[in-house]
Chains A and B, each alone.
Chain A
Amino acid sequence: QKEVEQDPGPLSVPEGAIVSLNCTYSNSAFQYFMWYRQYSRKGPELLMYTYSSGNKEDGRFTAQVDKSSKYISLFIRDSQPSDSATYLCAMSNQAGTALIFGKGTTLSVSS
């Protein structure tokens, strides 16, 4: 079993839809959880960062962490064509250490 599992998609939604992206993990020591957005042939861009369990909201984006289920989510409200990208979840057990990434989910938002 891989440490971080993420459905690669692709996920296609119409503009304005609510998007739900998820990752599961096996290492209960993970405490730091991140979501990155990666456009084609570009480096990842940090979207959301959460420590331990709970919710965090930033504009149209909401990140949720459920450590008891080893499950994290990213919700995108009012999705836009510019949100079309690959979304990577990442996590670590200590602050500032190397990240373990999911495979990424490719999202396509059509206008």
Chain B
Amino acid sequence: GAVVSQHPSWVICKSGTSVKIECRSLDFQATTMFWYRQFPKQSLMLMATSNEGSKATYEQGVEKDKFLINHASLTLSTLTVTSAHPEDSSFYICSARWDSQETQYFGPGTRLLVL
């Protein structure tokens, strides 16, 4: 089946620093990637949709200058949390799909803890 990886799997950083999370599709070309955030005991909430070569589309309430998304190739998307604060601590999960695929395949997630 389709495999999506994320790196790092977990990261701890100081408040005010920036953190980059990578999402890779390992065995398919992902024309669309999605970034979700999941707080404890909550559901996944969509942050943004990213199409290769285009600017990401952000959901209402998600600051695009704080959560920078780059989808420069068909197998890689990155999410950079700039000037991270403790309230940004969460589980960040990406998913990916190719053009003819109706479903999405999720990565294993990245747990971010901002001290």
Query: Could you pull out 28 A-B pairs where Cβ atoms are within 8 angstroms?
Result: A6-B43, A34-B103, A42-B108, A43-B6, A43-B109, A44-B44, A44-B93, A44-B106, A45-B106, A49-B102, A49-B103, A51-B102, A88-B43, A88-B44, A96-B32, A96-B101, A96-B102, A97-B49, A98-B34, A98-B49, A99-B44, A99-B46, A99-B104, A100-B46, A101-B44, A101-B45, A102-B43, A104-B43
Decide if A46 is an interface residue (CB 8 Å cutoff). Answer: yes
B interface residues with partner A (beta carbon < 8 Å)? 4, 6, 32, 34, 41-46, 49, 91, 93, 97, 99, 101-109, 111
Please, how many angstroms separate the alpha-carbon atoms of A46 and B34 in the complex?
Answer: 15
Which residues of chain A come closer than 8 Å to B4, judged between CB atoms? 43
Decide if A60 is an interface residue (CB 8 Å cutoff). Answer: no
Which residues of chain B come closer than 8 Å to A32, judged between CB atoms? 102
> Are A36 and B43 CB-contacts (below 8 A) given A43-B93, A96-B32, A96-B101?
no
> Which residue of A has the minimal Cβ distance to B34?
A98
> Are A101 and B93 CB-contacts (below 8 A) given A43-B106, A45-B106, A96-B101?
no
Which residues of chain B come closer than 8 Å to A6, judged between CB atoms? 43
**Which of B44, B102, B109 is in CB contact (< 8 Å) with A41?**
B109
Question: Of B32, B44, B46, which is in contact with the most chain A CB atoms at under 10 Å from its CB?
Answer: B44
A interface residues with partner B (beta carbon < 8 Å)? 6, 8, 32, 34, 36, 41-46, 49, 51, 88, 95-104
Please, how many angstroms separate the alpha-carbon atoms of A42 and B34 in the complex?
Answer: 16
> Which residue of B has the minimal Cβ distance to A45?
B106
Could you tell me if A103 and B106 are in contact, using CB atoms closer than 8 angstroms?
Answer: no
Which residues of chain A come closer than 8 Å to B6, judged between CB atoms? 43
